[in-house]
Amino acid sequence: AQSVTQLDSQVPVFEEAPVELRCNYSSSVSVYLFWYVQYPNQGLQLLLKYLSGSTLVKGINGFEAEFNKSQTSFHLRKPSVHISDTAEYFCAVRGDSWGKLQFGAGTQVVVTP
């Protein structure tokens, strides 16, 4: 079975400052890892994914994440945030061949001027 823990429920950040959202997972098998963003009253949009290969993954909108197998982490970063990055961010793990995603509880990012 897999589980995902997002260590921060809310992260306030000033515009143009960096942000890091923390995600830890547990799994007994090889995993695929994902970060999704959810804007108010919308569905989920894929930011980036780790399937294999390079542990540093680059995604859309300037986001990147680093897979750390020894620490079972997949933290999301952005060097300079914009007001438009205000949203809920979800870390998810897929540990089986069928495609079921296990999501964390989410991290609300609030960007202020």
Partner 1 sequence: DAGVTQSPTHLIKTRGQQVTLRCSPKSGHDTVSWYQQALGQGPQFIFQYYEEEERQRGNFPDRFSGHQFPNYSSELNVNALLLGDSALYLCASRAGGSHEQYFGPGTRLTVT
59 near partner 1, judged by CB under 8 A: no
Beta strand 102-103 with 87-94 is antiparallel
Of residues 27, 67, 102, 111, which one binds partner 1 by CB under 8 A? Answer: 102
Residues in 33-52 at the binding interface with partner 1, rule: CB under 8 A: 36, 42-46, 49, 51
With CB under 8 A as the contact rule, the residue among 19, 104, 109, 111 that binds partner 1 is 104
What is the spatial distance between Cα 71 and Cα 49, in angstroms, rounded to a whole number? 18
Decide if 50 contacts 80 (C-beta within 8 A).
no
Helix (H) or strand (E) holding 9: none
Binding site for partner 1 (CB under 8 A): 4, 32, 36, 42-46, 49, 51, 90, 92, 94, 96, 98-106
